[in-house]
A and B are shown apart, each in its own frame.
Chain A
Amino acid sequence: MSHIHIDMENVSFAYEKGEEILRQITFHASETDSVGLIGANGAGKSTFLKMLVGLNLNFTGSIRIEEIPVQSGTLAQIRSRIGYVFQDSDSQLFMNTVYEDVAFAPRNYGLPEKEVEKRVEQALRMTGTMHLKEKQIYKMSGGEKKLISIATILSMTPDILLMDEPSIALDPKNRRNLIHILNSLEHLKIIASHDLDLILDTCERTVLISQGRIAADGPTKEILTDQVLLEENGLELPLCMRKG
């Protein structure tokens, strides 16, 4: 793959005038980085991710994905490179069957049906959901839906994966399965989550957002063991780090 990178320079964003959610964010990631995005409720994690795919366009500063600036004219190009997994799988999935949903993106990109089928099968294999291929979406469990959501994104063969709270509503077994799958994907990943243990298991690097700014950015092992830093920013140590 060519040079995959995300560059944000001095990015600020407000939904409503005067109330900046993100302030002066500068952030870079490239190649196969896996970045955990953490922060208290309302810190702006989802907002951050949505900006990268151009769902929040009226920011100031510059965002570039593989040298392409994020702006209204380049969205199609940007979005074909980025896969965004919604927090709520029910918003992500809208077709009737698993196959049709996973095939949605490749069909939209005009691939011939043979190629679409190949992509779908590959995506299902990568997420270990081949057995669900013909199933109807509304009949599936939350864990299955999450994996299918990821498959719908993988079938577009993106360079970059963005995930918003991927482990929410998953039971321990499905969560472990998810971690396993995330670790097997060699994309540039940014994972926003409150599940710090998940971040610890899947991300090399962690960015902590607090009050609209990047409060810390460094190796996950350092940030997630820094009790003082975490508590100052409304978070707690990952479960596996707590004593007693």
Chain B
Amino acid sequence: MELFSVSGLSERVYMSKIGGTIREIHYMETLSSRDQWVNQIHPLVKFVLTVIYILAVVSFYKYDVAGLAGFAVYPLAVFILAELSFLDSLKRLRFVLPLVCLVGILNPFLDKQEVMLAGVPVSAGVLSMTTLIMKGVFSVLASYLLIATTSLEKLCYALGMLHIPRAAVTQFLLTYRYITVLLEEVDRITQAYLLRAPRQKGIHFKAWGSLAGQLLLRSLDRANEVYESMLLRGYQGDYGYMREHAVPGRQDRRYFIFWMAVFALFRACPVILVIGSIF
């Protein structure tokens, strides 16, 4: 399966943490450049859906666990459609998800009322904590799925279509490129340093100043060259990308309408409870 060639990345052994970060960035690019069906959906559609999804999720009443639970359907479906590994994604989100969970942790102590859930009394604090966590996790997952199925260039294109100023979009694109360039430079410099100071655990603070200076100069130089390379190939601040797929096609519109209908339905009634009451 496709996923295996993707995880073949781990064969590359990086010596440093920075190498790991660079690898994560490349990994996301690998994911977004696959040709799964979801990856082919128009970026504007995916972007707008993600925004609407997050707004819908966030708008739930704080005790409405049942209604909110229905919204798990979107990330789950996209995970399956995009053939992404769920576990792998959780691993990648390991720093973000705990933070999201922390947000609600005090609620059980602050809100000591009891409310009825499906005829059973439960602590309101626990409920509101649960919804907060769910809102956070769903939003993070939805954003992750957007990035994992849409390349940055396409995302920028979608932003352009939404009339976000061109200068801002270019800035965004170049900043992203600059981050990789910068990280690669950091990696090179720290490796060169550590190879010549093998006994040291990290970089001695006395060397920080000159290393940071070097880093700035070198990465700027490099970024400048990348920019020159773009200019020499006709870049004029407006990447004529995807001219052919300028507007969403029929397939894209169907995808959009389908999910809008699902969101509307799940927002209007707690589908989970309805299904539960049938059985």
Bound-complex Cα distance A242 to B222 (A)? 37
Are B239 and A86 interface neighbours, CB within 8 A? no
List residues of B (173-191) whose CB comes within 8 Å of A's CBs. 177, 184
A53 on interface, CB distance cutoff 8 Å = yes
A7 on interface, CB distance cutoff 8 Å = no
Bound-complex Cα distance A206 to B225 (A)? 27
A110 on interface, CB distance cutoff 8 Å = yes
A136 to chain B, nearest CB (A): 6
Binds B, one of A87-95, A123-131, A172-180, A219-227: A87-95
Bound-complex Cα distance A152 to B233 (A)? 8
List residues of B (11-41) whose CB comes within 8 Å of A's CBs. 26, 29-30, 32-33
With beta carbons under 8 angstroms apart, the residue of A79, A93, A100 that contacts B232 is: A79
Chain A 88-117 per-residue mask, 1 if CB under 8 angstroms from chain B, else 0: 101111111100100011011110110000
Say what secondary structure dominates the interface of chain A.
mixed
Are B240 and A76 interface neighbours, CB within 8 A? no
A80 on interface, CB distance cutoff 8 Å = yes
Chain B 98-120 per-residue mask, 1 if CB under 8 angstroms from chain A, else 0: 00000000000000000000000
A55 on interface, CB distance cutoff 8 Å = yes
Are B232 and A94 interface neighbours, CB within 8 A? no
**Number of cross-chain contacts by CB at 8 Å:** 70
Q: Please, which residue of chain A has its CB at the minimum distance from the CB of B235?
A: A108
- Interface residues on chain A, size class: 20 to 34
Are A84 and B232 interface neighbours, CB within 8 A? yes
Are B222 and A91 interface neighbours, CB within 8 A? yes
Are A97 and B33 interface neighbours, CB within 8 A? yes
Q: Which of A82, A93, A94, A113 has the most CB of B within 10 A?
A: A94
Q: Please, which residue of chain A has its CB at the minimum distance from the CB of B28?
A: A96
B229 on interface, CB distance cutoff 8 Å = yes
Counting from the closest, the 8 A-B pairs by CB-CB distance are A108-B234, A91-B225, A105-B233, A113-B244, A96-B29, A110-B240, A92-B229, A94-B226
Chosen A-B contacts, 19 in total, with CB atoms closer than 8 Å, are: A53-B232, A79-B232, A79-B233, A86-B225, A90-B184, A91-B228, A93-B229, A94-B229, A96-B29, A96-B151, A104-B233, A104-B235, A107-B240, A107-B243, A108-B233, A108-B240, A109-B240, A110-B243, A113-B244
> Beyond A152-B233, A153-B233, A156-B233: 14 further Cβ-contacts under 8 Å?
A53-B232, A84-B232, A86-B229, A91-B225, A91-B226, A96-B151, A105-B233, A107-B240, A108-B234, A108-B236, A108-B239, A109-B234, A110-B243, A136-B33
